[in-house]
Amino acid sequence: MKIGFAGLGVMGGPMARHLVHAGHEVTGFNRTADKARTWAGASGGRFAATVAEAATGADLFILCVGNDDDVRQVVDAALPHLNAGATVVDHTTTSAKVAREMAALAAGQGRTFIDAPVSGGQAGAENGQLSVMAGGDSDALTRAEPALMAYSKAVKHMGPSGAGQLTKMVNQIAIAGVVQGLAEAVHFAQVAGLDTGAAYDAISKGAAQSWQMDNRWATMAEGRFDFGFAVDWMRKDLGLVLDEARANGAHLALTALVDQFYSEVQSMGGARWDTSSLAARLQDRPRQA
Ligand code: NAP
């Protein structure tokens, strides 16, 4: 399949590489052109200097850029150059609003736009084990799915345009509370003078178990926060969540609080630390009298 790909960063770079290795003809574009040149050299894909060049003649165009405005810019530039009937799959985490906006724009030009954010992080992209949650036309998604499976373990259709982004918001809400709870548990164990490794052994097979506990307990205790998904990105995502909640009336008191905790982590110099750095905020704090 002839595929255009825009956004060859931490997530997009390995995704696009998996597509090349699966036998697709992939043309990659990135805002910073050197990154696209390096990607093309390393993966065997083709380099594009512009979005239009990456989109020309493609039946499938995939992007994984930064935020809402980046998606608007790239999709607007790509649409007129794609083959008639082509599908655009957006893996960026954005608002549901921009997903609906892009779907209408694409439909007006005889193309289909699917919002398809992912979970699984950098490791999931590298290992081809991402989970994709998608909104939009299900027939177009079914046609794109074999290609997406080059870097995914599951692709789930969630409903109309925007439903993929809403599902990603659910994911981020669930993670925010769990990570803060875990950070407090590690903090308490340390303050209480327990052996944190032994505490993990004692509780991790019971009801407190979670992916975060299995993968981040020990590293939180050691103060290591270099595991990919950055606090800056999490704050962007929680901002999208809280905007959506203001519009739909959901009550997200804990999510709003954790968002503010992350703003404190940013002030501590942790903008690029990973999301488990909520623990650093507690480690820095004097104990109550
Ligand atoms: P990243 O490493 O910063 O990659 C984004 C790439 O998109 C960069 O190479 C950037 O180019 C390019 N880009 C940004 N805006 C652009 C524009 N307007 N036009 C053209 N190219 C543009 O970020 P990432 O970690 O891959 O994350 C990408 C998206 O996936 C974000 O929405 C993030 O929230 C989401 N996500 C990330 C993770 C994760 O673990 N990292 C997990 C799930 C979802 P430059 O080289 O010029 O900056």
Residue closest via CA to ligand 1's atom 42 equals 121
Kindly list the catalytic residues.
168
d(CA 25, CA 188): 53
pTM of the model: 0.95
**What is the three-class DSSP state of 132?**
strand
Contact by Cβ (8 Å): 239, 259: yes
* 31 to 9, 35, 36, 178: CA distances (angstroms): 10, 8, 8, 35
d(CA 125, CA 74): 21
Q: Indicate the top mutation candidate among 15, 27, 30, 236 to test ligand 1's pocket, ranked by most ligand atoms within 8 A of CB.
A: 30
Q: What is the DSSP letter of 274?
A: B
Nearest in space to 95 (alpha carbons), one of 213, 241, 216: 241
Residue closest via CA to ligand 1's atom 34 equals 93
**Amino acid of residue 76:** D
Report the separation in Å between the CA atom of 66 and the middle of ligand 1, taken as the mean of its atom positions: 4
Which residues sit with their C-beta closer than 6 Å to ligand 1?
6-12, 30-32, 35, 64-66, 70, 73-74, 92-93, 118, 121-122, 228-229, 233
Task: Please state the domain extents for the chain.
Answer: 2-159, 166-282
Class of domain 2-159: alpha beta
**What is the three-class DSSP state of 83?**
coil
Per-residue pLDDT of the chain (289 residues; tens, 9 = 90+): 999 999 999 999 999 999 999 999 999 999 999 999 999 999 999 999 999 999 999 999 999 999 999 999 999 999 999 999 999 999 999 999 999 999 999 999 999 999 999 999 999 999 999 999 999 999 999 999 999 999 999 999 999 999 999 999 999 999 999 999 999 999 999 999 999 999 999 999 999 999 999 999 999 999 999 987 899 999 999 999 999 999 999 999 999 999 999 999 999 999 999 999 999 999 866 666 6
Backbone angles phi, psi at 106, to 5 degrees: -65, -45
d(CA 17, CA 21): 6
Q: Indicate the top mutation candidate among 38, 64, 175 to test ligand 1's pocket, ranked by most ligand atoms within 8 A of CB.
A: 64
Query: The tokens of 229 are what?
Result: 């998904």
Third-level CATH fold of 166-282: N-(1-d-carboxylethyl)-l-norvaline Dehydrogenase; domain 2 (1.10.1040)
